[in-house]
Amino acid sequence: QVQLVQSGAEVKKPGSSVKVSCKASGGTFSTYSISWVRQAPAQGLEWVGRITPISNIVNYAQKFQGRVTVTADKSTTTAYMELSSLRPEDTAIYYCARDHGSGQLDFWGQGTLVTISS
Partner 1 sequence: DIQLTQSPSFLSASVGDRVTITCRASQGISSFLAWYQQKPGKAPNLLIYAASTLQSGVPSRFSGSGSGTEFTLTISSLQPEDFATYYCQQLNSYPPITFGQGTRLDIK
How many other C-beta atoms are found inside a 10 Å radius of the C-beta of residue 22?
Answer: 27
| 88 three-state secondary structure | helix
Distance of CA 108 to the CA centre of its chain: 10
Q: How many helices (H) and strands (E) does the chain have?
A: 0, 11
- Among residues 14 and 40, whose Cβ is nearest to partner 1? 40
* Contact stretch for partner 1 (CB under 8 A) within 12-20, 24-32, 60-68, 83-91: 60-68
- Contact call for residue 91 and partner 1 (CB under 8 A): no
Least spacing, CB of residue 117 vs partner 1, in Å? 21
Interface ranges with partner 1 (CB under 8 A): 35, 37, 44-47, 49-50, 59-62, 95, 97, 100, 102-106, 108-111
